[in-house]
Every structure is written in C-alpha cells, then in structure tokens.
Chain A
C-alpha cells in the first residue's frame, strides 16, 4: 500500500506556569492511501495535539514541536514555517472539528465560508467557487443547496452544520482528512448519518482519514486500523481485528472492558482505576504501570519498547517480552471479544456495514 504520511518520533510540549507539559512523547505511525486510522484514548492522552501538529495548528507559544518528523510528499511538515503551512492546510490536509455549533463563523454566510478555501487554493473566481460550493453542499446531503449557501450558520441544525464543516474540509480534495471527534457533539441518530456520509465520501475521494475518538463503537464502525494512545504515546497499534480480537496491552483491555455493549446485560462496566499521569513529570518506566494490575517490576524502571505481534500489530508492554509471565486478558474482556465476533460490532475486513451496536 502507498504511504501518504509518515510520522516519526513526534514530540510536542507546552510551556505552562507549572512547567513543561509533555503532551506527545515520541509518537510514530504511518498512514496509507485510502485508509481510515482511528486514534483512541482518554482525554489528555495527546490525540488532538498529535493531529494538530500535523496541520501546524499547535498554538505557539506556548506549544512547540521539540523533535520528530512529519513526512508528507517529500517535505518534513514539522520544519515548515507557518506561511508555508498555509499552502498545505485546507488543500492537502484538512480537518473536521468536534463541535459544529461553534466551528462556523457566526457572522459569515455558509457559502462564503466554503468558497474561501477554493478561492485561496484553487485560484477560482467567485462565480466558479460558488458553483463548486453548491456542488459540495449537495454532495454532503444538504437539500436546496443553492438557497442555503446564502444563509448563516444559526439557520442550520447541528447535524446540518457538521455537514457544512465536512463540505469545507472536502472543498479542495484533500489527501488527508483529520476528523477530531466529529460525532461527539451530535445525537446518536445524526452520528450514524454523519459516519455513513464520511465513509461514502471517502470512497469517492480516496482520501486517507485520521479519526480521533474515544468511542470504540465508532472505531469498530469506521476504521481500518486503530492506534491506542496513553499519556502521549501510542501503546498499541494494529488493524481493527488485531486490536478488538487480539488486544495485547493491558490499557487496551481496560478500554475494551469499559465499553458498553447491547448484549452485556448481566455484567457491570469495568472502570480503569486511578487517573492518567501528570505529564509535567511523566513517570519513569511505563506510564500506565500505576493503574495496571498486570504491571511487572520492570514497568516501574524502564519504558517498554514496541513489541511486534504480527506484521500489522504492535504493542508497547513488557508482557510481550519472551521472559514475561504469560497473562491472559480478564474474563470480562474475553467475553467482550467474543461478543464482538457475535454481533459484528468489530466487522471483518471488507464488511464495513456496522450499525451502532
């Protein structure tokens, strides 16, 4: 498969009054053409900061990329100036934001907000840009598009606004689309519509999508591969099947165990005890160790490297070391894994027609 983006050892920190917050600590991953990579993890795990660095949208100061490379079409985006990034943002890489209620400019007509990017990147004149804006609105399923482009955001519902935001992000046929929890602020029926729309558009445009979420149900529904982040690092990465049927990292077990499913009437949801570490002084060793019932002595001393499970599946836990004791995931997670197989929540490759289960 063709690689469109390569992230190597990305490290991002923020200077605050309390000290330097190490939000992202050495993240590496590849993104292939036409695939959807989901990044999951709890709040503060560095998901959004990682993707904002890809777009050069880290507010600086206080934030800065300390080291690492973001290789895209022969350029290292981490080293580009802000004005050079404006040629890539919105054209090659674009972004869908979390809250459609606040992500559109309230005093500007929808049409103008879509046309701006077209005029800037595609050098269109206003008339052509307007035509294209109407096409885009029709593409994302907004009826009466030619009338709607003259309306303001407050005249649209939340779901419709998110469609507009998607239209803006697709305007210049980006190669990479970053979706930062695009359905979190929407109600469930609208969520499903927006997810379907995104899958549909991905097939038409062949864009690669990075999908940030903490909703594992959504991951199973849309993603090809999953990266699990914890405390600014990727702790497990693999295909959806790898991560859902054969999870290796205890944190992934915790996430799967805390995910509600429709058929799990008899059990209680499992919570992961404790809270995420302070990223001003990240702990020595494995950051998850204090919350990990399977932690080994070495977890407190030394950070685990990425162990290879298969060609597509890697996880950073000492449990995969050849000298480590053999540990099985907890029973509840095993039942969960079987449950996915039964309900098809984590669909087999090729079958991407999941419902919200």
Chain B
C-alpha cells in the first residue's frame, strides 16, 4: 500500500510537470502581453517593465526561471493586482469556490443517488420516467443556460432569491443548484444502470432465495455493489465542478477562483494563469488518487499492485 502510494505520487509529480510545461508554452502563444492594454504608458516605459519582469529574456530562459521558482514553491507575482503574490491571491479567493463546489457536490450526489435508486426500484413507472427526464435535461442543458433560467425565475420573476453576488447563505442557493444539476444527472444515470444490472444478477436471486427481506436485499446486497462503479465517476465529476464553476462564478458574480481565472486570461496575467492552472491540476490528481484508494476500501476484489496480501 505504502509502495503503491509512493509510486503514484512520483507519477503525479511527472504529470504536474508536463501540465506546467504545456500550459506555459501555450500561454505564450496567446497574442498580447500583460501590459499591452496600458495605453498611457510610452513605448520606453513598457520596455522598462518588460525588462524588469524578465519578459525580454528568450523563452527557454523564462521557462527555466518559472519552473525553478515553482519547485521552490514560488508561483511568482501577479501582473494585475498591485504586485501581490499569486499564492496569496488564490488563497484569498478559495473560500467561495470551495463552499460552492462542496455544496453542489453534496446536493447533486445525494439527489442523484435518490433519483437513481427510485428509478431502478420503480422501473418503467411514472417515477422512473420523471427521474429520467430530470437527468436527461440535467445532462443536456448547459449550466450557464440553466443558471440564467434560475436567475430569471427565482430572482427576477418571483423575487425570492438574490440574482447574484456573494453575501449570505441565500446568495449561495441559486449557484449551488445551477452547479449541482450536472453531478445530479450523472449520478442518476449511472446508479440506475448499475442498480438494474445488479438487481438482475444471480447473487441477488440467491439472497432472495435465502428468505431475506426485500429491503435487506436491496440495500445490503444490491446498493453496495451498484455504488462501486459510481465511485469511478466521482473523480471526473469533481473536475467538472471545478471547471463548471468558472462559468457559474462569472454569471453570478461570485469572487471565487474561477472568476479570477477568467479575468487573468483576459488580462494576459501570466503568473496568475500558471498559478491557477497548477492549483486545479494538483487538486485533480489528488482527487483521482483518493478515488483509486477508495476502490480498495469498497471492493475487496481490487488489490493495488505493490500492495501485500
């Protein structure tokens, strides 16, 4: 187990290095510089700024400097926010994003599990059809369209919830729903399919043949086995929430990382773009590792290579 985790961490570092490299060069391909919108500066002043920030150095040198800084934990200084450090900026913005991501993950997963279970147990009834329609709408309607609809209905027409901004818990409700619809739909589809397959399996029939109650068969025998594959999609789903929040934060004017990230790209804030990308990447690889380790806990058939038993 320890050997497996060590091995995985080495792979994670290699992955992160490749992501950093690719992002760095792709970003440099973007037109413009951090200062090309500063109309009041003269050409000479701009040149002095380029020199000061090392933007006149050849690309490989800039790259080497950046990676060297990154290894030492230095993500550089933001170009747009009064020379503040990138890691401080990310930390100051993480609160709303984390709260939003967590709330929508919990809400979406829970509702998805409930709807998926109802669908499978009440197969081909009105309950099943309703649950399926919700899931299909959730998968096919883009979150920004859904967010707009929510704002219009609950904010403008009914006037019961704030349209945007980040203040009280009330302000978090609409963006949470807008973001939760995707995990909800994904989990519903997955659990329904898995549950139906498990319910038709031989070991469920054997459990019934033992004379166990229906509820015991469903929850103790079927649900646990149906949940294992659902864990597989948790990793991609968390990532989906992270990227989904970029748009949602912009729409609801939430001061989160996503909103800041979008602005950084518009402003060519090189160090912020790199910093945020690396932050998301680290989160991503860690989530995937956790999901893989969770497998071992829930499915006794899976033994990690390098593990002993």
Interface of A with B (CB < 8 Å)? 55, 57, 82-83, 85-91, 94-95, 97-99, 102-108, 116-117, 120-121, 152, 154, 165, 168-169
Contact = CB atoms under 8 A, between A and B. Distances in A.
13 contacts: A55-B209, A86-B213, A90-B210, A94-B210, A102-B202, A102-B203, A104-B206, A105-B203, A106-B203, A106-B300, A120-B211, A154-B300, A168-B206
Contact of B301 (A86, A89, A106, A120): A106
Contact of B211 (A103, A108, A117): A117
Contacts of A105: 203, 206-207, 221, 225
Interface string B106-138: 000000000000000000000000000000000
A90 B211 contact: yes
Contact of B208 (A57, A106, A154): A57
Contacts of A102: 201-203
B212 interface: yes
- For chain B, give the interface size range: 20 to 34
Contacts of A165: 206
B211 A121 contact: yes
A82 B209 CA distance: 12
A249 to B, nearest CB: 32
A117 B206 contact: no
B202 A103 contact: yes
A86 B244 CA distance: 48
Contacts of B228: 107
B8 interface: no
Contacts of B299: 106-107
Given A105-B225, A120-B210, 6 more contacts: A90-B209, A99-B202, A102-B203, A116-B210, A116-B212, A168-B206
B221 A108 contact: yes
Interface string B273-309: 0000000000000000000000000111100000000
Interface of B: 201-203, 205-214, 221, 224-225, 228, 298-301
Most buried by A among B209, B212, B221, B298: B209
A54 to B, nearest CB: 11
Contacts of B211: 85-91, 117, 120-121
Contacts of B213: 83, 86
Nearest to B224: A107
B173 to A, nearest CB: 37
B203 to A, nearest CB: 4
A47 to B, nearest CB: 16
Most buried by B among A107, A108, A116: A107
Given A97-B202, A152-B300, A106 B225 contact: yes
A139 B214 CA distance: 30
A89 B209 contact: yes
A347 B77 CA distance: 92
In the A-B complex, the 5 residue pairs with the smallest Cβ-Cβ separation, listed nearest first, are A90-B211, A89-B211, A90-B210, A103-B202, A102-B202
B301 A154 contact: yes
Nearest to B213: A86
A97 B203 CA distance: 9
A85 B207 CA distance: 13
Contacts of A116: 207, 210, 212
Given A107-B225, A107-B299, A57 B210 contact: no
Nearest to B200: A59
Contacts of A121: 211
Contacts of A91: 211
Contacts of B221: 105, 108
A85 B231 CA distance: 35
Most buried by A among B206, B211, B213, B225: B211
A265 to B, nearest CB: 38
A248 B306 CA distance: 64
B205 A57 contact: yes
Nearest to B208: A57
Nearest to B227: A107
B210 A89 contact: yes
A316 to B, nearest CB: 31
B214 A94 contact: no
Contacts of A104: 203, 206
A282 to B, nearest CB: 27
Nearest to A178: B209
Nearest to B210: A90
A88 B299 CA distance: 32
Contacts of A85: 211
Contacts of A154: 300-301
A97 B206 contact: yes
Contacts of A168: 206, 210
Nearest to B299: A107
B286 to A, nearest CB: 26
A219 B126 CA distance: 48
A117 B210 contact: yes
A200 to B, nearest CB: 22
Contacts of A86: 211-213
